[in-house]
A and B are shown apart, each in its own frame.
Chain A
Amino acid sequence: MVNLPFDMVEIILSKLSIESLVRFKSVCKSWNNLISDPTFVRNDQTQRSKEPNSEKLFLLKNLLIEMEAPYYRDHALCFCDGLLLLEGSYKRVTLWNPSTRTSISLTIPYDKFDLCHGLCRDPITDDFKVVILSKKHYAVYSSALGTMIPDTFVILARRESTQIMYFDPRDDKFKFLHKPDNINSDEDKTYYSIRSSLDDKRPIFLFESRGRLCMYCNFIDKTRIRIWRKGKGIDNHSWKKLMTITNVETSIKSFVPQCFVGNKLVIRIRGKKYRNKDDRLVVYNTCKKRFKEFKKTKPVFGIGLVPYIETLYFPIENTESGRKRKRE
């Protein structure tokens, strides 16, 4: 038996997996208080996100009973800071932390069809928000207001669009984000004059990687896709060219980047069948500029693949009573 000072216990605990941390809440009250402390949770989150392989891929299937996903027919809508927003039953969404298995169900004011969803966290007040956008309206649920409301950017683009709109959690307003200048600047010079006039109309696509917004679109020859990454922070609207993917054989609409693993990019290639039955995963090696199939991807019914980071974080404290309140 060794009596370690509490600050050293804290250092050791911060290196445990989330699962063990949650279990050790039962050790004693002071450990429970520490592990539940918002400062500890926040530091832990910052620390974990810095680790080189912190971003993991999470495979969310329909009927995912073994993972105890809160509802049967769940489908991941978006993610932020280790939390996922899942599609629930009629007019409901569920906010879920898969590493602590905490969840809360929210009622939304719109029918499920044709909605855009976003999660974000106000960088100053730490208020966590869920944004639901329908064709004409939007609703914002805020954890601070308790009425139930990443990098703090919300991706609210539809699959094919030419402009980027984002939600600013500081003033709850939607704003436009400038695209990178000269999207085609180093394509073949002969095409340049024609292309640049088309810049504004070219469909662009978005994904998120390590809390940063990324944008991609294809070249005129359709076999190359270029990816840009936005600078860190809401007000930083600069874009940096990240990479150009060559030898693309599928249409850009079926090309859905998932996350970076080292120097490799995991991409989901959408199939044509109903409910994503023939979706598959490929890995693009940025050094060798080659695609490789994931060896064991069988088509998974209703596959949902999301990157997440292990975290203790959950914006709403008492989920049990929160859930009950919502059901009433």
Chain B
Amino acid sequence: MAAETGTPTTLTLKSNDDELFSVAESAAILSVTIRNMVEDGCAGGVIPLDNVDGKTLASVITYMNGISAIPADEEKKKSYRDKFLSDKDFETLADMVLAANYLNMSCLMDAVSAKIAQVMEKKSVGWVRRKFGIENDYTPEEEAAVKEEHKWTFEGVETDDDN
């Protein structure tokens, strides 16, 4: 086997829109889902990832390569994660959190969900409803009552930037 001769093993991952990606096994096994496949010996050919699109997978692979190149230094890993996520918008982050969940990558899952929370922090209720695709199921009276009860939390809210 390749690993025994010292050549790094490469895996081929396929997104749900049929894009193919090569990634070093050592980086790919950050995903517990992929690691299990490798350990079960079913990572020989192409690994189909039915829940991840090409754009998101490319991003996840960039992350896998980046983070696995950093030696065991939690501080440096954290600053890499912060930098990696800094320019991502809400939709990209939401796709990544789904991918991280499907691929079972707890460190990415934690970092992305924290980033989403950070993005949501000063946002309005309307913004959150639109971004999460949530229908307002309150009657106008109920909504007014809930808002009135927690009036002070609406003080520092930003003006929506998505209209």
Contact = CB atoms under 8 A, between A and B. Distances in A.
Interface of A is mostly: helix
Contacts of B146: 25-26, 32
B131 to A, nearest CB: 7
A28 B147 CA distance: 11
Contacts of A27: 125, 128-129, 132, 134, 136
A1 B98 contact: no
B130 A24 contact: no
Contacts of A17: 121
A20 B153 contact: yes
B109 A2 contact: no
Interface string B107-144: 00100011011101110010011111111111000010
A15 B114 contact: yes
> Most chain-B Cβ atoms within 10 A of its Cβ — which of A2, A12, A26?
A26
A8 interface: yes
Contacts of A8: 97-98, 101, 113
A199 to B, nearest CB: 44
Given A11-B109, A15-B114, A23-B150, A29 B94 contact: no
> Most chain-B Cβ atoms within 10 A of its Cβ — which of A1, A8, A27?
A27
Nearest to A18: B153
Contacts of A12: 97, 113, 116-117, 120
B154 interface: yes
A11 B128 contact: no
A11 B109 CA distance: 9
Given A15-B117, A23-B125, A2 B94 contact: yes
> Most chain-B Cβ atoms within 10 A of its Cβ — which of A16, A24, A25, A32?
A24
Contacts of B120: 12, 16, 20, 24
B53 interface: no
Nearest to A67: B152
A101 B101 contact: no
A172 interface: no
A111 interface: no
Contacts of A19: 153
Contacts of B147: 26
A24 B101 CA distance: 24
A28 B134 contact: yes
B150 A22 contact: yes
B25 interface: no
A312 to B, nearest CB: 11
Given A2-B95, A8-B98, A20-B120, A29 B153 contact: no
B137 A11 contact: no
Given A12-B113, A20-B121, A20-B153, A28 B129 contact: yes
Interface string A97-111: 000010000000000
B157 interface: yes
A1 B135 CA distance: 12
B48 to A, nearest CB: 21
Contacts of A4: 94, 97-98, 132
Interface string A1-43: 1111000110111011101101111111111100000000000
A23 B154 contact: yes
B98 A24 contact: no
Contacts of B94: 2, 4
Contacts of B18: none
> Most chain-B Cβ atoms within 10 A of its Cβ — which of A13, A28, A30, A68?
A28
A26 B131 contact: no
Contact of B121 (A16, A26, A32): A16
Nearest to A100: B150
Nearest to B127: A27
14 contacts: A3-B132, A4-B98, A4-B132, A12-B116, A12-B117, A15-B117, A20-B117, A23-B153, A24-B120, A24-B125, A27-B132, A31-B134, A32-B146, A68-B152
Given A2-B95, A20-B122, A31-B134, 6 more contacts: A1-B91, A2-B131, A11-B109, A20-B117, A24-B125, A26-B125
The 6 A-B pairs with the shortest beta carbon distances in the complex, nearest first, are: A2-B94, A15-B117, A23-B153, A1-B133, A12-B113, A16-B117
